[in-house]
Amino acid sequence: MTSIERKNINYETSLTKRPISVGAEKMLGEVIPVLDHGFVYLVDYLGNDAEIATMARTSYGRGTRKISDDRNLIRYLVRHEHTSPMERDEFVFHAKMPIFVARQWIRHRTASVNEMSGRYSILDKEFYIPEPEVIAAQSKTNKQGRGEVLDHEQAVKVREILVADAMTNYNHYEYLLNDDGQGKPIDSERGMVARELARIDLTLNSYTQWYWKMDLHNLFHFLALRMDAHAQYEIRQYAGAISNIVKESVPVAWEAFVDYQLEAVKFSRLEKCALTEIAILAGFKMNPEELDKILEKVGMDNNFEKKETEEKFRNLGII
Q: Is residue 226 flagged as an active site residue?
A: yes
Residue 266's contacts (CB-CB under 8 Å, 6 or more residues apart) are: none
Query: Whole-angstrom Cα distance, residue 192 to residue 189?
Result: 10
Could you count the other beta carbons within 10 Å of the beta carbon of residue 253?
Answer: 28
Q: What stretch of H or E contains 72? A: helix 70-79
**Alpha helices, DSSP H, located in 127-260:** 152-177, 195-198, 216-226, 233-249, 251-257
Catalytic one of 226, 236, 269, 314:
226
Burial environment of residue 300 by CB neighbours within 10 A (0 to 12, 13 to 18, 19 or more): middle
Q: Find residue 144's DSSP bridge partners.
A: none
Query: Whole-angstrom Cα distance, residue 277 to residue 258?
Result: 29
Q: What stretch of H or E contains 147? A: strand 146-149
What is the total residue count of the chain?
A: 319
Max CA pair span of the chain: 89
In Å, how far are 136, 219, 247, 306 from 150, measured between CA atoms? 5, 34, 35, 48
Instruction: Give me the active site residues, please.
Output: 226
